Structure 1
Amino acid sequence: MVNPVHLRTLLEVIRHGSFAGAATSLGYTASAVSQQMSALEKDTGTTLFARSARSAAPTEAAVVMSRHAAKVLTDIDALLASSARADGGTAEELRLGIFPSLATFALPRLLGTQQWQKLGIRLKVYVAEPAQTIQGLRTGGELDLALVYQVGQAGLAWPSSVSRQWIGDDNFRVILPASWGIRPGSTVSADQLADMPWILHHPGTADATVIERLFASCNLHPRVIAYCDDFNASLEMTAAGLGAALVPELAMLNRPDGVVALDVPEIRLARSIFALQTGDRHNIRVRLFMDQLAEILKAQRIAPKHTA
């Protein structure tokens, strides 16, 4: 019998293109992912990966199986959710910690869906930055689930008793004032941005350190005109012509007129969004809540906004 956990792992391997990437997303070791995929091959009698000394490339059979696995897992979740509603009767309280831009632009969209209405969860929400919400997960804390982000590999630590699930990525975009005359969607090099004034994070924070290293790697040493950790304020100041900025796509869903988003090949950065939960809160309703939120994030792709 095929283990649904192995199917979920297969989806992550296909999505990331490697065992190591899937392991990072799921909170496993690469060895554990490899073992799960070997077990899945044995259970299905199918060769899913062409293994070599340095890599394990998915076969066509693996890609086809992943498509079917996504539907099977959706059906399993729906069945379990139906059973939970039948058994539960009343709504279950979930004490949720969530960072501001996710609470502003993604959570309200989920709460307006029919899937949410059927889920049977009563939310108690705490909006705060990740470092604060992680504290709420510690022993005796006030939270059951924390939705946090991590820029690069730095800046966050959580208790060993907390499990992690990847929810989605929030890509950063380089934005400029439209008054500078560069067309929306233009591709520019980091060299072309070197002499422009910039609005950046306050120095010393983990996010700022990652951004500084990224800029330095492409020989970009920005002339800082303002320090700001509020993305809405950065957007407004950019629209007013003060300077360029690096802003995640979630915050850009409500961007003002007068802002142009660029493609800068050397500047590729994302906030990875994770759900952290204590060990005693692994149930189907919470898992479906996280899956539904992940679907909302997938749909939140930034379309070009032609402004003048």
Structure 2
Amino acid sequence: MINPVHLRTLVEVVRLGSFAAAATRLGYTASAVSQQMSALERDTGVALFQRSARSVLPTEAAVVMTRHAAKVLTDIDTLMAAAARTHESTSQELRLGIFPSLATYVLPRILQNPAWRKLGIELRVSVAEPGQTIQGLRTGGELDVALVYQVGQSGLAWPHTVNRQWIGDDDFRVVLPAAWGIGPESKVAADHLSDMPWIMHHPGTSDATVIERLFASCNLHPRVVAYSDDFHASLEMAAAGLGAALVPELALLHRPPGVVVLDVPEIRLARNVFALLPKEQLTAQVQLFVELLADTLHKLGTTRRD
């Protein structure tokens, strides 16, 4: 069955002359466009393009239509209309489990991306922490895809029957009250922050254990004045002068005034973001959604630093 998403991508590749240009126009990565065209070639049973060697990266190479592609394009409107009718009747429902900061800052950007509307996915969303979301994959199959994070080697476990795909990393940053008078460009070692008031995760959680070990390894011994697993609450308390906090960059997209984001070389920690997909859910539409998610998170990562 020919995927209409691939046909629309084919039109842009031919019109613009390269996978990279089509990717920019459609909001995909160049590799995603290349994969779509390879899938279309498999579905049609013919080679549609001749890739030139004008670029170091194959996905950025200029492409030349073969006579088979020209034949396909002679009746492209008919093909797309027929495929669209089929696509409308086979639109895929996707039951998505997602953790709060990804739902707050990444998912809305995907839903506003023109590429999303072309995927033909009917989304059903459940926002929860990773442990609860993973249970949705286990218990009766309430979810089709789970988007989770892992800090270090924290104790998350998922069924062996699921496919795990890395989406990206959400780096932690040190946040200080601006009232402390330490500027964002200040050179501060971790042990300089020892004995200062800190807002920490609740003891016993997997994140707290990893952070405690990291702090101990760089001789940072915080004086805990608050426990909070809500990053927005931690940011507001830091802005009010209560203490320092360790907050992931996604939460910093809407940070309040009154806080300073500090780069401390010894404190390098990230939430590794993964998509967990049961093997039967690995359709072309779902794979394109995962690629769109990874691309959106990557673009946010290039713009959210000070």
Per the TM superposition, whether the score is higher than 0.5 is yes
Is 1:147 aligned to 2:147, yes or no?
yes
2:174 is matched with which residue?
Answer: 174
1:185, 1:261 within 8 Å by CA — same for their partners in 2?
no
Aligned length: 235
1:256 is matched with which residue?
Answer: 256
**Which runs of 5 or more residues in structure 1 are unaligned?**
1-69
Shift of 1:186: 2.7
Q: Deviations over 1:123-161 (max 9, x none)?
A: 000000000010010152200000000000122001111
Q: Write out the 4+ residue segments of structure 1 that deviate beyond 4 Å after TM superposition.
A: 78-87
1:81, 1:285 within 8 Å by CA — same for their partners in 2?
no
Task: Please say which structure displays the higher CA radius of gyration.
Answer: 2
1:185, 1:260 within 8 Å by CA — same for their partners in 2?
no
1:97, 1:133 within 8 Å by CA — same for their partners in 2?
yes
Q: SS at the partner of 2:118?
A: helix
Q: SS at the partner of 2:158?
A: coil
Is 1:120 aligned to 2:120, yes or no?
yes
Structure 2 Cα separation of the partners of residues 224 and 273 of structure 1? 28
Which stretch shows the higher mean deviation, 252-261 or 72-81? 72-81
Structure 2 Cα separation of the partners of residues 108 and 81 of structure 1? 29
2:185, 2:262 within 8 Å by CA — same for their partners in 1?
yes
Q: Deviations over 1:229-280 (max 9, x none)?
A: 0000000000000000000001111110111100101100000000001121
Which stretch shows the higher mean deviation, 222-231 or 137-146? 137-146
Q: Deviations over 1:56-83 (max 9, x none)?
A: xxxxxxxxxxxxxx74553223664898
Spell out the pairing of 1:164-243 with structure 2 (5 A cutoff). Answer: 164-243=164-243
Q: Deviations over 1:271-301 (max 9, x none)?
A: 0000001121011110110100111111113
Which stretch shows the higher mean deviation, 237-246 or 79-88? 79-88
Q: Deviations over 1:26-83 (max 9, x none)?
A: xxxxxxxxxxxxxxxxxxxxxxxxxxxxxxxxxxxxxxxxxxxx74553223664898
Q: Deviations over 1:191-247 (max 9, x none)?
A: 110121000000000000000000010111100010000000000000000000000
Structure 1 Cα separation of the partners of residues 188 and 100 of structure 2? 30
Is 1:281 aligned to 2:281, yes or no?
yes
Shift of 1:179: 1.0
Distance verdict in 2 for CA 1:283–1:250, change over 3 Å: same
1:33 is matched with which residue?
Answer: none
2:305 is matched with which residue?
Answer: 303
1:75 is matched with which residue?
Answer: 34
Spell out the pairing of 1:23-42 with structure 2 (5 A cutoff). Answer: none
Q: SS at the partner of 1:253?
A: helix
Distance verdict in 2 for CA 1:126–1:73, change over 3 Å: closer
User: Which letter does structure 1 place at the counterpart of 2:88?
Assistant: G
Shift of 1:163: 1.2
2:32, 2:288 within 8 Å by CA — same for their partners in 1?
no
Structure 2 Cα separation of the partners of residues 236 and 174 of structure 1? 14
2:110, 2:292 within 8 Å by CA — same for their partners in 1?
yes
Structure 2 Cα separation of the partners of residues 260 and 279 of structure 1? 44
User: Which letter does structure 2 place at the counterpart of 1:303?
Assistant: R
Is 1:88 aligned to 2:109, yes or no?
no
Structure 1 Cα separation of the partners of residues 174 and 40 of structure 2? 41
1:96, 1:146 within 8 Å by CA — same for their partners in 2?
yes
Distance verdict in 2 for CA 1:260–1:229, change over 3 Å: same
2:178, 2:259 within 8 Å by CA — same for their partners in 1?
yes
Distance verdict in 2 for CA 1:78–1:227, change over 3 Å: farther
Q: SS at the partner of 1:108?
A: helix
**Which runs of 5 or more residues in structure 2 are unaligned?**
1-28, 44-79
Shift of 1:169: 0.2
Structure 2 Cα separation of the partners of residues 211 and 163 of structure 1? 28
2:144, 2:277 within 8 Å by CA — same for their partners in 1?
yes
TM-score w.r.t. length of structure 1: 0.73
Structure 2 Cα separation of the partners of residues 207 and 231 of structure 1? 12
Report the identity percentage: 65
